[in-house]
């Protein structure tokens, strides 16, 4: 089993709790795990994708905490969820945020799991500081420069139209978004970012202008093969069978950066954790 290959154990008392950010530069997070476990595996740090938040991974994190009896930290990356907003939004900056979070929480080593944007963040952390990463799981993204699907700029435009309309009902926001995205589940996912202002107007908690300007950065990967960076620890790439983000063409790059990488295919599209959570869980455990 992929996660059974984690070798570092440390005594630590656990309790389940959640917290929002307490200062401008700290990441908001939630924690799941057994309360009275005297000895545990390395903790897991779990990162969401673009337009997501720590809430997206609550259900799967509870299941993994139960299965593995370890502490799981769900983070809100910068410019997402309850975390701070900043004009710089790229993988190097987000990786630095994650390492600072690990320092703040006194996490010597962690298993890192990330989906989509979060996947490139955890890959960046592993290549920058391999000694801090006991295992790596990348969910439907690869260490390559690859243009994002054209849907993402469209989502930003639709969300900006919602804010311009100054709607007070989510149903009205959905009607506007429907002009930009036909899929109801995707619209519902985007609408999880809506918050109500003091004047009863709905707006998005993600800074749309920052995210819009950063979309090109989200297509990049901060390292090139010529730099010789590599992470030799246990690595799993989980990919959706109906997604194009981790094609067979990316395998040479994956193996160059992550020579011990294994691949698990899950019957799903890009949003595979929500589309097929049991398939995702099984994919994590089926590799030896």
pLDDT tens string 95-154? 999 999 999 999 999 999 999 999 999 999 999 999 999 999 999 999 999 876 668 899
Q: How far apart are alpha carbons 74 and 54 in whole angstroms?
A: 5
Please report the pLDDT score of residue 240 as a whole number. 94
Q: How far apart are alpha carbons 129 and 150 in whole angstroms?
A: 32
> Under a CB-based contact definition with an 8 Å cutoff, are residues 246 and 141 in contact?
yes
Active-site annotation holder among 48, 80, 115, 270: 270
The most confident of the ranges 31-40, 84-93, 268-277 is 84-93
270 assigned to active site: yes
CA 7 from centroid of its chain's CA atoms: 24
Q: How far apart are alpha carbons 23 and 30 in whole angstroms?
A: 16
- Lowest-pLDDT choice from 2-11, 120-129, 236-245, 258-267: 2-11
> Under a CB-based contact definition with an 8 Å cutoff, are residues 214 and 89 in contact?
yes
Residues whose CB falls within 8 Å of the CB of residue 201, separated by 6 or more in sequence, listed in order: 166, 167, 168
CATH number listed for the domain at residues 2-145+220-285: 3.40.50.1820
**pLDDT higher at 36 or 45:** 45
Q: How far apart are alpha carbons 20 and 76 in whole angstroms?
A: 9
**pLDDT higher at 16 or 243:** 243
Question: DSSP 3-state assignment of 68?
Answer: helix
CATH 3.40.50.1820 in the chain, residue ranges: 2-145+220-285
Question: DSSP 3-state assignment of 185?
Answer: helix
pTM: 0.90
**What is the 8-class DSSP label of residue 28?**
P
116 assigned to active site: yes
| CA dihedral of 125, 129, 134, 135, whole degrees rounded to 10 | 40
Active-site annotation holder among 53, 83, 116, 134: 116
Q: How far apart are alpha carbons 17 and 21 in whole angstroms?
A: 13
């Amino acid at each position: 089993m992929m996660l059974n290959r984690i070798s570092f154990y440390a005594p630590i008392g656990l309790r389940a709790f959640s917290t929002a950010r307490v200062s401008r530069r700290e990441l908001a997070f939630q924690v799941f795990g057994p309360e009275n476990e005297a000895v545990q595996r390395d903790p897991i740090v779990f990162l969401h994708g673009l337009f997501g938040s720590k809430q997206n991974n609550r259900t799967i994190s509870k299941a993994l905490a139960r299965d593995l009896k370890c502490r799981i930290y769900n983070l809100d990356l910068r410019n997402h969820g309850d975390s701070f907003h900043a004009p710089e939004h790229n993988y190097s900056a987000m990786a630095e945020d994650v390492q600072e979070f690990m320092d703040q929480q006194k996490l010597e080593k962690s298993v890192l799991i990330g989906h989509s944007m979060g996947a490139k963040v955890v890959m960046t952390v592993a290549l920058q500081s391999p000694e801090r990463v006991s295992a790596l799981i990348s969910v439907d993204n690869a260490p390559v420069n690859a243009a994002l699907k054209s849907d993402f700029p469209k989502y930003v435009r639709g969300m900006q139209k919602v804010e311009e309309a100054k709607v007070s009902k989510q149903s009205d926001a959905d009607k506007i978004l429907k002009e930009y995205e036909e899929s109801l589940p995707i619209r519902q996912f985007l609408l999880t970012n809506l918050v109500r202002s003091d004047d009863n107007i709905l707006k998005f908690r993600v800074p749309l202008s920052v995210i819009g300007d950063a979309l090109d950065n989200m297509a990049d990967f901060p390292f090139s093969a010529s730099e010789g960076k590599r992470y030799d620890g246990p690595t799993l790439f989980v990919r959706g069978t109906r997604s194009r983000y981790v094609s067979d063409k990316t395998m040479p790059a994956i193996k160059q950066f992550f020579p011990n990488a294994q691949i698990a295919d899950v019957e799903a599209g890009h949003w595979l954790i929500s589309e097929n959570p049991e398939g995702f869980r099984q994919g994590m455990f089926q590799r030896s």
